[in-house]
Chains A and B, each alone.
Chain A
Amino acid sequence: MGFEVDVALRRGERTIAASFVTGEGVTALVGPSGAGKTSLLFMIAGLLRPDAGRIIVNGQVLFDDAVNVPPEHRACGMVFQDHRLFPHLSVNANLRYGMAKGGDLPGMAAFLGLEPLLGRMPRSLSGGEAQRVALGRALLSGARFLLLDEPLSALDMARKGEIMGLIERIRGDLGLSILYVSHDPREVERLADHVVEMAAPQ
């Protein structure tokens, strides 16, 4: 269980490369800006194609020489830095967008404290609210693992604590593998079971 990643992607002059195997729980991905942490998450989500290598998550091959599973079939719950809620859909419809059969929207709304937001439009949400909705949307999509790209970077301290608490509960209650990009050593110390450090690209 966990992530098994060995990829390389050439972007212009530099090469983004990463190679690691981690076990269950939360893996923190750290490294200097420009190391390609976000690009690596995109490769695991299927939004960027590595030049070579392989990606195995929870025992399933998502990418190698012969396989390239399209993003919609990877069952990954991706939470972006910029939350990317659909602006033309209400919070309720955003949560419902990728909902797997038998998804428990009321239960998830209660878990993340989203009940009062369900009828609102994304543009009326604060940063913390939007990030919680994005997290709920990813979880409801039947995700078998989570990719979190600095989900706390745009939030103030109080909100950070709140969402970190939620991530701990997701790890505990839902038992999902989580790959978590962060700049903040305190976040890493609190959340991570494993730490992967990415070097600056060559």
Chain B
Amino acid sequence: MTLSAQEADILILSLKVSVVGVLAAAPFCLLCALVLARGRGAWGVILLDALVHLPLVLPPVVTGWLLLLAFGTQGPVGRMMAGWGVTVMFRWTGAAIAAGVMAVPLMVRSMRLSLEAVDPRLEAAARTLGAGRWRVFATITLPLAMPGVLAGLVLGFARSLGEFGATITFVSNIPGETQTLPLAIYSALQLPDGDAMVTRLAVMAVVLSLGSLVVAELLARRMAHVAGLRQERFHGL
């Protein structure tokens, strides 16, 4: 299957929006995952857990509307950004924000599980060897959790590729700027002779999503493998 120039543009825009959105959200997700993994029980932590999961359970159109309120010209973030001469309204950067926000719950879940799987006894050992908290995180916790962190990024990427409702509400459906793959499929469905294009775009979506899921699954298995090794080594001790 060769892509027409228009389809290639849609594909490239989709990948750009998802990659940028997921990478921009990643540090925030990692921080949330760390707080959730370590600070169990406190009220603030329960609240953060609920907030982080909101994009998973809210209708996406509501998430898009909330983004519109925050980043619109009258919104708190929008006004601040206008002061720097930046706007994300009706721009691909806005689509990336929507993509990143919708990917947050999946990324945080995966990262949190992998951080919780890291053996705190190893972190304690590192501290007796002279490493402060941040060095322990950077040299022990994060490397050991890395397969799960990467799996989270890939899952988030897969989720954000399919993002529709929040994107179209927040930054509309502008070809070449905010028209990602799902939005292009939606537009093609409205055209009387769009069937062939819908089919081709849908095949692209299936291939991309399936590929991401396979990669995420492989990373998750690698994580299970590492965890298994740990149990074997510390068996009975």
> Which residues of chain A have a CB within 8 Å of any CB of chain B?
45-47, 70-78, 80-82, 84, 86-88, 97-98, 100, 122-123, 137-138, 141-142, 154
Q: How far is the CA of A168 from the CA of B232 in the complex (A)?
A: 31
Q: B residues within 8 A CB of A97?
A: 126, 129, 131, 139
What are 28 A-B pairs with beta-carbon distances under 8 A? A46-B127, A47-B127, A70-B127, A70-B132, A71-B127, A72-B127, A72-B128, A72-B132, A73-B130, A74-B128, A76-B128, A78-B125, A80-B121, A84-B124, A86-B122, A86-B125, A86-B140, A87-B122, A87-B144, A87-B226, A87-B229, A87-B230, A88-B143, A88-B144, A97-B131, A98-B129, A138-B128, A141-B129
> In this assembly, does B234 line the interface, its C-beta being within 8 Å of a C-beta of chain A?
yes
| Distance between Cα atoms of A72 and B124 in the complex (Å) | 10
Judge whether B128 and A45 touch: CB under 8 Å.
Answer: yes
In the complex, B233 has a CB within 8 A of chain A: yes
Interface-centre pick from A74, A81, A98, A122 (highest chain B CB count, 10 A):
A98
Question: A57 CB to closest chain B CB, in angstroms?
Answer: 13
- Asked if B47 is an interface residue, CB under 8 A from chain A, the answer is no
Contact with A along B113-146 (1 / 0, CB 8 A): 0000000011011111111100000011001100
Known: A123-B229, A154-B237. A71 touches B128 (CB 8 A): yes
Within 8 A of A (CB), among B181-237: 226, 229-230, 232-234, 237
Q: How far is the CA of A142 from the CA of B234 in the complex (A)?
A: 27
For B230, the chain A residues whose CB sits under 8 A away are: 87
A97 — nearest CB in chain B belongs to which residue? B129
Task: Give Cα distance in the complex from A19 to B148, angstroms.
Answer: 45
Alpha-carbon separation in the docked complex, A72 to B140 (Å): 15
B125 close to A84 (CB less than 8 A): yes
Q: Which of B125, B233, B237 has the most CB of A within 10 A?
A: B125
- Report the Cα distance A76→B124, complex, angstroms: 12
The total of chain B residues at the interface (CB under 8 A) is 22
4 additional contacts, CB 8 Å, given A77-B128, A98-B128, A98-B131?
Answer: A72-B130, A84-B122, A87-B144, A138-B129
CA distance A87 to B124 in the complex (A): 14
Residue of A74, A80, A100, A142 touching B125 (CB-CB under 8 A): A80
A47, A98, A122, A123: which contacts B130 (Cβ < 8 A)? A98
Rounded to whole angstroms, the CA-CA distance of A199 and B86 in the bound complex is 69
Q: How far is the CA of A76 from the CA of B127 in the complex (A)?
A: 10
Known: A97-B139, A123-B229, A154-B237. A84 touches B130 (CB 8 A): no
- Which residues 13-29 in B have Cβ within 8 Å of A in the complex? none
Residue of B nearest to A142 (CB): B130
Which of A75, A84, A154 neighbours the largest number of chain B CB atoms within 10 Å of its CB? A84
Min C-beta distance of B4 to chain A, whole Å: 46
Q: List chain B residues, Cβ under 8 A from A72.
A: 127-132
Kindly state the separation between the CA atoms of A100 and B143 in the bound complex, as whole angstroms. Answer: 22
Minimum CB–CB distance from A84 to chain B (whole Å) comes to 4
A138 cross-chain contacts in B, Cβ below 8 A: 128-129
Q: In the bound complex, how far is the Cα of B131 from the Cα of A75, in angstroms?
A: 11
| Contact of A47 with B128 in the complex, beta carbons under 8 Å | yes
- Please report the C-alpha to C-alpha distance between residue A116 and residue B232 in the assembled complex, in whole angstroms: 24
Complex formed: what's the CA distance from A124 to B8 in Å? Answer: 49
CB neighbours of A86 from chain B (8 A): 122, 125-126, 140
Q: In whole angstroms, how far apart are the Cα atoms of A74 and B126 in the complex?
A: 13
